[in-house]
């Protein structure tokens, strides 16, 4: 089973087009011309649901596309499907009725075939999609289609008629209602017409959600979400226009909010102190663990001693409390806090898991010496890649100093790159070590742990470990035995993060936003971005 998530560095944000001047008098609650000014921390890579891999593209796509269901705060509610359905055939078959009034922004009706087209395209190896969607990967025959063994039309998704979609799963999946929020259709007609251009710019986009995306060329850092008049629930959308620009500097974001050039701003660093105890502050832990991944396809970095050396070296408490100081939590597990609880005691998964690596400088140095001996060298140089935001730069500088201070013969060349470039290099295995994270959209430990499964699209390190695969496969077959499944996932987490140390976890980020008191309906959630369609002017 292959899972879906997003590559992450950062959290939801919002912003304005350069040069826009904001005045308090602009917010007249009876005016339809008012514009929500927001920001993001990095650029959108793709607006194709089929090619989605990164968190920033996911944040943008959430606003313009709608799946079978959608999130409204913490609740799953109906989307393009008429109702939340109950499965048949022992929980494996779902039959959805698509709304008669569900339309694309160009006026075309949203059909069952539009969902099938997207599902088949993601599964088809010829598409070369990195989007290993959780909801798609548990559909019957997904793996065989994705491996090229059978035709995409053999996957378990069928349009019974224009408005009836039947999805057959490999096995009963209790979390499927949440997964179905990420089953996003494409306009079949336009997808066939545009091909690989679909979702590469506003020119090649049609949307079925609350908004259209205008002014996006595919590479620029500002664009606008405009209310989609064809959206089936358009009358409930109160925010008619949202202007967004990318702001990477915390000082700029904080100042823009302070000067009322932003209605919602993602804040970090010391600027959190300014707003933490005010009515403007909204903080939500992300369902993400950020850590160091090693290129397992390279002899230089595919080494257990090297991975464990960094596991024992990194002081997670120092990084979160002194270096970041933004509310982020130290983490030594692959599973974020708040993602899963013990089915018997209710204890959080990470509490039961405990600390995989405690700081031990002597042990770290022993592992480093063992690495040099094993590779037959007295020194080694590594490139370690981070995002180019201010927080990542602080973390990078700390890790570089710690490694070069404790490990004799090591040289760390830190690289700070735009998120899109980092993602591209990681997916091409063009790195030694990289600081990235995996966002998950479902409260279940199996999804973040999929990061190490062989063949998984977002297996950053290209881990290929049959023992680890066996743990995940065993957990998948234990769906009807929660206690055993929970223990199997605990074993998998320890194997991945301690025994083999395929990823060295560092911290779990927190999304901190400053939100104007003129906006209501802002609902933070660990698993998805707040939806502008649920917000309103006070």
Pairing of strands 503-508, 519-520: unpaired
pLDDT of residue 134: 60
pLDDT in tens, 49-103: 999 888 889 999 999 999 999 998 888 999 999 999 999 999 999 999 999 999 9
pLDDT at residue 29 is higher than 50: no
pLDDT of residue 30: 47
pLDDT in tens, 184-239: 999 999 999 999 999 999 999 999 999 999 999 999 999 999 999 999 999 999 99
How far is 16 from 486, CA to CA, in rounded Å?
A: 45
Alpha-carbon torsion (109, 115, 121, 124), positive or negative: negative
pLDDT of residue 422: 92
Q: Give the dihedral of Cα atoms 206, 211, 217, 219; nearest 10 deg.
A: -120
- Characterize 6-18 residue by residue with b for buried, 16 or more Cβ atoms within 10 angstroms of its Cβ, and e for exposed: bbbbbbbbbbbee
pLDDT of residue 57: 92
Position with higher pLDDT, 192 vs 455: 192
Position with higher pLDDT, 140 vs 17: 140
Is the whole model's pTM more than 0.85, yes or no? no
pLDDT at residue 111 is higher than 50: yes
Position with higher pLDDT, 383 vs 323: 383
- Characterize 304-326 residue by residue with b for buried, 16 or more Cβ atoms within 10 angstroms of its Cβ, and e for exposed: bbbbbbbbbbbbbeebbeebbbb
pLDDT in tens, 394-420: 999 999 999 999 999 999 999 999 888
Confidence band (pLDDT; 50, 70, 90) for 160? very high
The least confident of 224-228, 446-450, 502-506, 522-526 is: 522-526
DSSP code of residue 205 = -
pLDDT of residue 33: 66
Confidence band (pLDDT; 50, 70, 90) for 20? very low
CB atoms within 10 A of CB 508: 28
pLDDT of residue 10: 33
Residue 522 CA, distance from chain mean position? 20
In a 10 Å sphere around its CB, with 0-12 CB exposed, 13-18 middle and 19+ buried, how is residue 71 labelled?
Answer: buried
pLDDT of residue 132: 54
pLDDT at residue 23 is higher than 60: no
pLDDT at residue 7 is higher than 50: no
pLDDT of residue 231: 98
pLDDT above 90 covers a percentage of the chain that reads 75
- Mean of the pLDDT values across residues 166-192? 93
How far is 110 from 121, CA to CA, in rounded Å?
A: 17
pLDDT of residue 270: 76
CB 317 within 8 Å of CB 330: yes
In a 10 Å sphere around its CB, with 0-12 CB exposed, 13-18 middle and 19+ buried, how is residue 105 labelled?
Answer: buried
């Amino acid at each position: 089973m292959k899972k879906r998530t997003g590559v992450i560095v950062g959290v939801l944000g919002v912003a304005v087009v350069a040069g826009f001047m904001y005045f308090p008098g602009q917010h007249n609650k009876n005016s339809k011309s008012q514009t929500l000014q927001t920001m993001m921390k990095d650029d959108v890579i793709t607006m194709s649901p089929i090619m989605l891999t990164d968190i920033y593209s996911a944040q943008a796509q959430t606003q313009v596309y709608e799946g079978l269901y959608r999130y409204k705060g913490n609740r799953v509610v109906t989307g393009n499907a008429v109702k939340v359905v109950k499965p048949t055939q022992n929980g494996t078959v779902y039959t959805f009725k698509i709304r008669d009034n569900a339309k694309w922004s160009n006026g075309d009706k949203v059909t069952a075939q539009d969902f099938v087209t997207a599902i088949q395209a993601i599964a088809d190896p010829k598409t070369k999609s990195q989007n290993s969607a959780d909801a798609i990967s548990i559909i019957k025959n997904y793996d065989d289609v994705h491996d090229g063994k059978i035709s995409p039309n053999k996957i378990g998704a069928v349009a019974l008629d224009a408005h009836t979609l039947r999805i057959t799963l490999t096995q009963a999946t209790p979390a499927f209602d949440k997964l179905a929020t990420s089953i996003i259709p494409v306009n079949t007609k336009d997808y066939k017409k545009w091909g690989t251009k679909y979702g590469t710019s506003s020119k090649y986009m049609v949307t079925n959600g609350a908004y259209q995306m205008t002014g996006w060329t595919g590479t620029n850092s500002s664009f606008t979400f405009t209310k989609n008049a064809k959206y089936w629930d358009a009358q409930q959308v109160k925010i008619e226009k949202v202007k967004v620009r990318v702001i990477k500097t915390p000082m700029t974001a904080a100042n823009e909010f302070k000067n009322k050039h932003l209605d919602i701003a993602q804040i970090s660093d010391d600027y959190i102190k300014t707003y933490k105890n005010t009515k403007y502050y909204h903080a939500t832990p992300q369902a993400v663990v950020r850590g160091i991944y090693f290129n397992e396809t390279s002899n230089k970095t595919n080494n257990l001693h090297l991975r464990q050396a960094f596991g024992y070296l990194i002081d997670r408490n120092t990084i979160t409390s002194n270096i970041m100081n933004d509310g982020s939590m130290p983490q030594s597990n692959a599973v974020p806090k708040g993602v899963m609880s013990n089915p018997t005691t209710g204890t959080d998964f990470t509490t039961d898991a405990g600390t995989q690596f405690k700081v031990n400088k002597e042990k770290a140095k022993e592992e480093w010496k063992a690495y040099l001996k094993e590779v037959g060298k007295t020194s080694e140089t590594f490139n370690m890649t981070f995002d180019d935001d201010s927080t990542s730069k602080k973390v990078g500088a700390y890790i570089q100093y710690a490694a070069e201070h404790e490990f004799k013969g090591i040289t760390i060349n830190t690289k700070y790159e735009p998120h899109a470039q980092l993602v591209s290099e990681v997916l091409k295995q063009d790195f030694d070590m990289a600081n990235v994270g995996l966002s998950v959209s479902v409260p279940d430990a199996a999804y973040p742990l999929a990061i190490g499964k062989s063949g998984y699209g977002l297996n950053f390190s290209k881990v290929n470990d049959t023992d680890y695969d066996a743990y995940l496969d065993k957990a998948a077959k234990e769906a009807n035995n929660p206690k055993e499944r929970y223990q199997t996932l605990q074993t998998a987490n320890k194997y991945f993060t301690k025994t083999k140390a395929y990823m060295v976890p560092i911290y779990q980020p927190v999304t901190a936003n400053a939100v104007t008191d003129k906006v209501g309906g802002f609902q933070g959630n660990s698993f998805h971005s707040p939806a502008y369609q649920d917000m309103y002017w006070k």
